[in-house]
């Protein structure tokens, strides 16, 4: 990617879901978004009738009791309307597309409306060098932000900042490699002129 990319790629919009578990019976229980503008959105999702799957392993990770979803969750239609209003016409990125896309489809299908945005994997806009730096950068970002993990809005912020920081580090690495190559080429020219 070029350094002159538009703002959207400097701070991509990120979406993250927490879910009742994994597999075909799972469903989204919380969604978090950090838009490219910095605006944040988070909502617990009230389970639809028939959304009964509940993984104890997943619950130990996200620590959201199902009773809290029933009592405080927003109806799926309201969540989908909020997401469409915030993200309309944009591409939004996630770091676990194979899961998040399924949960997004399940959410919008339950609301009987299409998403007004496109969900894409973060790998679509990250360079290979960024991805090689991703895990270490993510650990550093999480520590620096001091936010809770495995809550959708916190995870979305961590993913966005990891993208930004890994991109900065990759660009610095490219500049360093370019400077070394320039010095080596200059040294070779000087030696060949002797």
Query: Is the residue at 186 inside a domain?
Result: yes
- Does the reported pTM lie above 0.85? no
Whether 62 and 151 have beta carbons less than 8 Å apart is answered as yes
CATH number of the domain enclosing 66: 3.30.420.10
Domain tally, the chain: 1
Interhelix angle 152-193/128-145, nearest 10 degrees:
130
Asked if 38 and 7 count as a contact pair (C-beta separation under 8 A), the reply is no
pLDDT in tens, the chain (194 residues): 334 444 445 799 999 999 999 888 999 999 999 999 999 999 999 999 999 999 999 999 899 999 999 999 999 999 999 999 999 999 999 999 999 999 999 999 999 999 999 999 999 999 999 999 999 999 999 999 987 667 899 999 999 999 999 999 998 876 554 444 455 455 555 555 55
**Domain of residue 185, residue span:** 7-193
Residue pair 115/108 in contact by the 8 Å Cβ criterion: yes
Q: Is residue 74 part of a domain?
A: yes
Asked if residue 12 belongs to a domain, the reply is yes
The answer as to whether 2 is a domain residue is no
Residue 1 lies in a domain: no
* Sign of the four-CA dihedral 139, 145, 151, 152: negative
């Amino acid at each position: 990617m070029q350094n002159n990319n538009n703002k959207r790629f400097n701070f991509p919009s990120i979406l993250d879901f927490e879910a009742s578990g994994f597999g075909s019976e799972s469903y989204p229980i919380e969604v978090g978004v950090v838009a490219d503008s910095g605006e944040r959105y988070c909502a617990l999702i009230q389970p639809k009738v028939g959304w009964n799957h509940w993984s104890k392993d997943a619950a130990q990770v996200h620590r959201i009791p199902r009773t809290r979803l029933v009592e405080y969750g927003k109806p799926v239609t309201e969540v989908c309307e909020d997401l469409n209003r915030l993200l309309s016409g944009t591409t939004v990125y996630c770091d676990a597309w194979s899961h998040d896309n399924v949960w997004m489809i399940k959410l919008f299908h339950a609301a009987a409306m299409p998403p007004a945005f496109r969900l894409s994997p973060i790998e679509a806009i990250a360079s290979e060098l960024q991805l090689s730096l991703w895990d270490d950068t993510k650990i550093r970002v999480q520590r620096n932000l001091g936010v809770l993990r495995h809550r959708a809005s916190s995870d979305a912020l961590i993913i966005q900042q990891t993208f930004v920081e890994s991109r900065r580090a990759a660009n610095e690495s490219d500049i360093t490699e370019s400077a070394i190559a320039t010095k080596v080429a200059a040294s070779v020219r000087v030696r060949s002129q002797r």
